[in-house]
Amino acid sequence: MPSSAPQAAATVDGDVYVTPRYLAGSPGYGDAGFAPVKHWPHHHLDEGPHQLVVTSPDHRIRIGWAGDDYDLWTISAAPDAVSGPQWTAIVNQNTPPELVAALTTALARDWADGQDRFLAAPSAYWADSLAPLVAAGWQRTGAEVGTVELTAPGGNAGVYINRSRRDLPDGTELWAGPPGWGTRAEITFSPRTPSHLIAATAEAFTDTTPVAR
């Protein structure tokens, strides 16, 4: 049952159920993240950083899984099968795959509707990407010029956008958990990522349904 505490867990039939789900960590496999695109072509690779790459049928959307790397997922979209990515999302090893599933669900829907929405130009307004978080009560924090920061109630998750600081990496980063290589979940979107895809991923951070671990 969901709790207002930062993290609640109860043992039921041998499983631990965690809420908020952004603190659940990774179970070590990506099934939930791949489920929305299970009908897409799968490419099992013997060499390179990714053990598995799932692509849209036209190969414009690519979802790479590196099972033994810190950057566990690399998700991107390109105008055609042989072009470099127009945008990229990097997801680290501590991130619950249920959050990744929100992004892959949106990508599968975009590809199926045939309108190339997964290549849309992002909105000039940061609030279009983070509307679900604002609606869920995440508060604006930070005061650095050229950046936007929001923090979840309880302070266990947040989002950081670099809009114009040249001394910092560009893009949008959703995070959860305490700082540290083995504890903090991070999803980082490059600057040209469509706003609705970031919003779909952000909405998963507001889902109070517990996840099993």
| 15 part of a folded domain | no
Sheet arrangement for strand 8-12: 8-12, 15-19, 211-212
| 144 part of a folded domain | yes
| 101 part of a folded domain | yes
| 147 part of a folded domain | yes
* DSSP assigned state of 184: -
Please report the pLDDT score of residue 169 as a whole number. 62
Q: Which domain holds residue 181?
A: 28-206
For the chain, 213 residues long, give each residue's pLDDT as a single digit of tens.
Answer: 333 333 444 444 558 999 999 999 999 889 999 999 999 999 998 877 889 999 999 999 999 999 878 899 999 999 999 999 999 999 999 999 999 999 999 999 999 999 999 999 999 999 999 999 999 999 999 767 788 999 999 999 999 998 765 555 679 999 999 999 999 999 999 999 999 999 999 999 999 999 999
**Measured between alpha carbons, how far is 197 from 26 in angstroms, rounded to an integer?**
21
Count of structural domains, the chain: 1
| 99 part of a folded domain | yes
Please report the pLDDT score of residue 10 as a whole number. 45
Please report the pLDDT score of residue 162 as a whole number. 87
| 121 part of a folded domain | yes
| 2 part of a folded domain | no
| 1 part of a folded domain | no
Please report the pLDDT score of residue 143 as a whole number. 67
Please report the pLDDT score of residue 15 as a whole number. 82
Record the pTM: 0.90
Sheet arrangement for strand 61-65: 42-44, 52-55, 61-65, 71-77, 87-92, 185-189, 171-176, 157-162, 147-151, 139-141
